[in-house]
Amino acid sequence: MSVKRKGSAKERELANYFWERGCAVLRGCSSGGGVRKRYVPDIVAICRGVVLVFEVKYRSKASPIRLEPEKLEKLVEFARRAGGRPLLLVKYGRDPWRVLEAREKVDREEYEKSVELRAFLESLFSARLEEYFR
């Protein structure tokens, strides 16, 4: 399987994951390919009013992940326009997906300190529910 097809499969898997947990979700059409005037993130998930804008990075083996400065800038700008959070979804091999604040470089140590996607969504949902009871 080509790298591009593998990346697309991971993005579809994540989009389904968000949808199954009650989020509205969009996967950037042809994300990662072609020249375009506007930046399109890999995934935008809207979970109970919270807009999450993701760039997705997968590696079969633990190696540093780099996001080009221009792509990071565009991710941050898209999130700003959407009123959302610019985030990275990172996964190494069979490890769980992890959520990190958007940045240019992720090494294994930062990855290990980050929050698993499942726990991230649970904390997001519980924080939002508490707001309703105030």
Annotation says 31 is catalytic: yes
Domain formed by 3-132, architecture:
3-Layer(aba) Sandwich (3.40)
Q: Pick the catalytic residue: 2, 8, 31, 63?
A: 31
42 is annotated as contributing to ligand binding: yes
Q: In the chain, where are the structural domains located? A: 3-132
Separation of alpha carbons 21 and 122, rounded Å? 10
The pLDDT tens digits of the residues spanning 61-86 come to 888 999 999 999 999 999 999 999 99
Say yes or no to pLDDT of 55 above 70: yes
Summarize pLDDT for 101-123 with one digit per residue, the tens: 999 999 989 999 999 999 999 88
Q: Is 55 annotated as a binding residue?
A: yes
CA–CA gap between residue 27 and residue 29 (Å, rounded) = 6
pTM of the model: 0.85
What distance in Å separates the CA atoms of residue 108 and residue 132, rounded to the nearest whole number?
A: 37
Residue 116 annotated as binding? no
Q: Which two tokens stand for residue 48?
A: 């109970």
